[in-house]
Amino acid sequence: MKIKKFVARDFKSAIKQAQYEMGSDAIILHTRQLKKNRFLGFLSPYHVEITVAVDENLKVNTDLKRERNPGYSSTELKDTIALKRQEAADMDNSAAEDQLLLELQQMKDMMTDIKMKMHEVGAIKGISDTAQHFYQILVSNNVNQDIALSIVSSIESNLPAQKMDDATWVRDVCINVLQEYISDISPITITPGKKGHIVFIVGPTGVGKTTTIAKLAANMTFLEKKTVALVTLDTYRVSAAEQLRTFAEIIGIPISVVFNAADFTEAIQDYQDNDIIFVDTAGRSPRNPQQMEELKGYMKLGQPDETILVLSVTTHSQDLIKIYRQFSPMNIDKVIFTKLDETYSYGQILNTVYEINKPVAYLTTGQNVPDDIEVPDPLHLASLLLRKDGLA
Closest CB to Mg ion among residues 235, 260: 235
What distance in Å separates the CA atoms of residue 379 and residue 382, rounded to the nearest whole number? 5
What distance in Å separates the CA atoms of residue 342 and residue 58, rounded to the nearest whole number?
Answer: 65
Among 365, 378, 386, 387, binds ligand GDP (CB under 6 A): 365
Does residue 343 interact with ligand GDP by CB under 6 A?
no
153 contacts which partner out of ligand GDP, Mg ion, none, CB within 5 to 8 A by kind? none
Taking the C-alpha atoms of residue 348 and residue 147, their distance in angstroms, rounded to an integer, is 11
Binding partner at 358 among Mg ion, ligand GDP, none, C-beta below 5 to 8 Å by kind: none
Minimum distance from CB of 242 to ligand GDP (Å)?
A: 11
Contact string (CB under 6 A) for ligand GDP, positions 177-206, x = contact: ----------------------------xx
Which partner, ligand GDP, Mg ion, none, binds residue 155 by CB below 5 to 8 Å per kind?
A: none
User: Residue 365: which of ligand GDP, Mg ion, none does it interact with, CB under 5 to 8 A by kind?
Assistant: ligand GDP
Q: Please state the closest distance from residue 315 (CB atom) to Mg ion, in A.
A: 16
Residue 347 binding target from Mg ion, ligand GDP, none, CB below 5 to 8 Å by type? none
**Rounded CA separation 151/201 (Å):** 33
Quick check: bond before 304 cis, omega within 30?
A: no
Residue 317 contact among ligand GDP, Mg ion, none, beta carbon within 5 to 8 Å by kind? none
CB 167 within 8 A of CB 130: yes
364 near Mg ion, rule: CB under 5 A: no
Q: Which of 367, 371, 380, 388 binds ligand GDP (CB under 6 A)?
A: 367
Q: What distance in Å separates the CA atoms of residue 276 and residue 216, rounded to the nearest whole number?
A: 11
Whole-angstrom distance, CA of residue 290 vs CA of residue 284: 10
Among 199, 317, 364, 384, interactor with ligand GDP by CB under 6 A: 364
Instruction: Say whether residue 295 binds ligand GDP (CB under 6 A).
Output: no
Residue 302 contacts residue 276 (beta carbons within 8 Å): no
Residue 211 within binding range of ligand GDP, rule CB under 6 A: yes
The DSSP secondary-structure symbol of 81 reads H
Query: 208 contacts which partner out of ligand GDP, Mg ion, none, CB within 5 to 8 A by kind?
Result: ligand GDP
What are the start-end ranges of the H helices in 328-377?
A: 347-356
Q: Does 315 bind ligand GDP (CB under 6 A)?
A: no
- Cβ 232 to Mg ion shortest distance, Å: 8
Q: Which of residues 6-25 bind ligand GDP (CB under 6 A)?
A: none
Q: Which of 332, 337, 271 is nearest to 304 (CA)?
A: 332
What residues pair up with 8 in beta bridges, in sequence order?
48
- CA atoms of 357 and 335, how far apart (whole Å): 10
Whether 213 contacts 201, CB under 8 Å:
yes
Between 223 and 238, CB nearer to Mg ion: 238
Which residue number, 18 or 230, has a Cβ lying nearer to Mg ion? Answer: 230
Classify the C-alpha dihedral 82-87-92-94 as positive or negative: positive
Question: Should residue 207 be labelled a site residue for ligand GDP when binding is judged by CB under 6 A?
Answer: yes
Q: Does 281 bind ligand GDP (CB under 6 A)?
A: no
136 belongs to the binding site for ligand GDP (CB under 6 A): no
**Are 206 and 237 spatial neighbours (Cβ–Cβ below 8 Å)?**
no
| Residues 58, 4 contacting (CB under 8 angstroms) | no
Q: Which of residues 181-240 bind Mg ion (CB under 5 A)?
A: 209-210, 240
Phi/psi of residue 371, nearest 5 degrees: -75, -35
Taking the complex as a whole, how short is the minimal distance between the CB of residue 209 and ligand GDP, in angstroms?
Answer: 3
Is the Cβ of residue 130 or residue 281 nearer to ligand GDP in the bound state? 281
From CA 336, how far away is CA 363, in angstroms rounded?
A: 6
> How far apart, in whole angstroms, are the C-alpha atoms of residue 226 and residue 251?
12
**Could you list the residues that contact ligand GDP (CB under 6 A)?**
205-211, 283, 338-339, 341-342, 364-367, 372
**Could you list the residues that contact Mg ion (CB under 5 A)?**
209-210, 240
